[in-house]
Structure 1
Amino acid sequence: MATETTTVTTRLYGSLPPFPDDLVHAPIAEISSRKLLEKDPDATAAVLQACQTYGFFYLDVADSDRGRQLLEEADQLYDLSKETLSLPFEEKDQYDFRKTGSFFGYKPAGTVKLTDKAQRPDSTEFFNIGKDCLFDIAPSTKYPEAIQNARPLLQKFCKGAHEMAMDVLRTLARASGEDEEVFVERNLFHESSGDHVRLTLKPASSASTSAVGLPSHTDFGSITILFNWLGGLQIESRTPGRIGEWEYVKPLPGKAIVNLGDAMVHFSNGTMKSAKHRVVPSPGAQAEMERVSVVYFVRPTHHSLLKPVGKFDTDDNRVKVAGKFSDGIDDKVYTAREWLELRYIQLNASKD
């Protein structure tokens, strides 16, 4: 497995232009998946620190069997992304989720996020493939034949990514002095939720001028696991003297990029961070290539309340999360389904 996966990683990264050396990189931690799974104390402390500061970290998935399996599946989904998103627009348009009221299906480029002050249309298209659809937890949205045929692969990746994410949540709970399952219980795999796999494609910058890939935003679930091969992802700096400036998250072979979403800010009563990030044109010679990403989003089960849990839920601290979000949603305690619907409204706009 290790040898095969190393070959896969080399094939993808070896065929791409190098990431420029003269750019400011976000100094986010690199965590070993092997040590995380072994509950290594140093790795546990490093994960908590990362999630209390940047809200992002690299997870070395090449150093554990479970991680290497994810890496191999992500490589296959890279190919599926290219195949599916190269279909004629007329065919993809049949699956546009904005026409069905679902969050699952196709999103074309040209979306304008309602909270983006500049009202810039993005240049990224993607397919959201729901976990509930893949595992018959809820009726399935229709997808192109290529995605339907890849159902076994998507199921394996979905299950493996979810399990890895749950180990991150257990690590955060343990590091916080909480019961290991306190966050996991709000993100159970077998219950209905907004969890999904996302296959994305941003065209080469020469084809999209300088259009933003995705505008500044926070993720609105619990945890995100990202596999990407070209640069373009930026996060807001937490470095003294650079606070609020944008720093690149350089793709690294064998490493996934993990970040927390807004739900974990609620669950942890604001002690953990859901960082703003955006996608801009890939830097240097990488701009001349299509940018593909494969993502797994963990979102709380639909009935979960977005409020502090466990020891974080105290009378003295319960209101700490108020005002911590920049996406125009008030401080009412919502269920995860209600929260998802509100964020969907923000996304459901386009520039004609």
Structure 2
Amino acid sequence: MASSRLFEAYPPFPVDVPTAILPKISLDKLSSGSEAEANELFHACRTKGFFLLDLQNEPAGDGLLRDIEALFAITREVMDLSLEEKTEYKQHPPLLGYKAAGIMKNEKGQPDRCEFFNVGQDDIRGNIPRRANPKPVQDNRETFMSFMDNASRVLFRIFGILEAQLGLPTGTLAALHRQDQPSGTVVRMIRYPPQTPRDHGSSLLNHTDYGTITMLCNVLGGLQILPPGASNEDSNWQYVKPQPNCVIVNLGDALVEWTGDILRSNEHRVIAAPGKQAEHARFSVAFLVRPERKVSMKRLVGGKIPTAAEDGKEELSVSADEWELKKAVALIAGADCARSKGGRELRTTNVPVKVG
């Protein structure tokens, strides 16, 4: 999340709107080996699928906060370019570049209200030939690299805790996300336009993320989550209140699949920001972490994870890139109003981990 300085430039988040109660996890405590903090993180990943991560007072976190400040400025520069210039970089497989507002559909079949620009990890790290990008991106490739480096350090800390809690060998999840291998991981710069009281509507349909983990950096409200088990009615949706020096972290469907539904991917959407915040354009930066393209989406074997045979389920025998393409097409069409999933009970004991 951005620092307090950026928050001071906007109206405050109102106190009279339904707001989700999310745990705030300290990266500093996680890095110091706090068992209580690790347990709270794992509990959040199983029950809510969302948590706030306080980045302060930890080297990678402090570096990430500086990168976020810089990326907010770059996001404004990119979005302030003319539509004609942005359209020169319009998206095509592998879904890098610019997406104009209205290309996707919301849950009612109406055009979405967000525009964004995806900068691929593969592009920045040289896993693919360098792409053409608008000047604000090309001139700041080092900033994107720094952001990805610091965000990945944070990510691998989270992975390590999940592995330990699941009874998996250290490095199991990191091995599915090697940074020198092609993946769908992107930095997404987003702008939502202001909305008038008479024109409040859904900006991005309700969905679950199909990747591994998302780290969201934003100042204004608008993100909402549906509490697990609640019916999909407007009265049940809750705003997530952004907080200075924190990122909003949510788990994606890949972790649910790999862990046999132990971890949770929770339904969420974006609507108009609450109160007077809706009068302002809403900028966000998201780090969408996705697996290496060629890894299998079959569930992991061992530890506390039940086998597909025990559940009476057929294995998901597709690669990550096949999985993501199918999910992306459905999301663009407004057909992927996926419901929250995961949060099943754990085994009481580990089983041997299959190697090789």
| Structure-2-length-normalised TM-score | 0.87
User: Helix, strand or coil: the match of 1:226?
Assistant: strand
Question: In 1, distance between residues paired with 2:186 and 2:30?
Answer: 23
In the alignment, which of 10, 25, 38 is matched to residue 16 of structure 1?
10
1:343 lines up with 2:336 in the alignment: no
Question: In 1, distance between residues paired with 2:223 and 2:22?
Answer: 13
Asked whether the equivalents of residues 55 and 274 of structure 1 are also in contact (C-alpha less than 8 Å), the reply is yes
What is aligned with 1:253? 244
What is aligned with 2:44? 50
How far the C-alpha of 1:26 sits from its partner, in A, is 1.1
Cα deviation digits, residues 27-70 of structure 1 (max 9, x gap): 11110001112221011111110010110000001231211110
How far the C-alpha of 1:142 sits from its partner, in A, is 2.0
User: Helix, strand or coil: the match of 1:127?
Assistant: strand
> Which stretch shows the higher mean deviation, 127-136 or 301-310?
301-310
Distance 1:140 1:347, change over 3 A: farther
What is aligned with 2:341? none
Describe how 1:188-227 pairs up with structure 2 within 5 A: 188-206=178-196, 209-227=199-217
Asked whether the equivalents of residues 107 and 126 of structure 1 are also in contact (C-alpha less than 8 Å), the reply is yes
1:96 lines up with 2:90 in the alignment: yes
What is aligned with 2:97? 105
In the alignment, which of 120, 125, 128 is matched to residue 135 of structure 1?
125
How far the C-alpha of 1:206 sits from its partner, in A, is 3.1
Asked whether the equivalents of residues 70 and 161 of structure 1 are also in contact (C-alpha less than 8 Å), the reply is yes
How far the C-alpha of 1:182 sits from its partner, in A, is 1.5
Distance 1:211 1:140, change over 3 A: farther
Asked whether the equivalents of residues 208 and 265 of structure 2 are also in contact (C-alpha less than 8 Å), the reply is yes
Cα deviation digits, residues 229-262 of structure 1 (max 9, x gap): 0000001113x8x565211110011111011101
Provide the identity percentage. Answer: 33
Question: In 2, distance between residues paired with 1:215 and 1:186?
Answer: 29
1:231 lines up with 2:221 in the alignment: yes
1:144 lines up with 2:138 in the alignment: no
Question: In 2, distance between residues paired with 1:186 and 1:243?
Answer: 34
Distance 1:317 1:111, change over 3 A: farther
Query: What letter is aligned with 1:314?
Result: T
Query: What letter is aligned with 2:286?
Result: V
Distance 1:236 1:315, change over 3 A: closer
CA-atom RMSD in angstroms? 2.1
Question: In 2, distance between residues paired with 1:234 and 1:319?
Answer: 34
Question: In 1, distance between residues paired with 2:78 and 2:312?
Answer: 44
Distance 1:156 1:207, change over 3 A: farther
Structure 1 residue ranges without an equivalent (≥5): 323-330
What is aligned with 2:262? 271
In the alignment, which of 278, 285, 295 is matched to residue 294 of structure 1?
285
Query: After the TM superposition, which parts of structure 1 deviate over 3 Å for at least 4 consecutive aligned residues?
Result: 315-320, 347-350
Distance 1:133 1:18, change over 3 A: same
| Structure-1-length-normalised TM-score | 0.88
Asked whether the equivalents of residues 4 and 245 of structure 2 are also in contact (C-alpha less than 8 Å), the reply is no
> Which stretch shows the higher mean deviation, 50-59 or 163-172?
163-172
Structure 2 residue ranges without an equivalent (≥5): 335-356
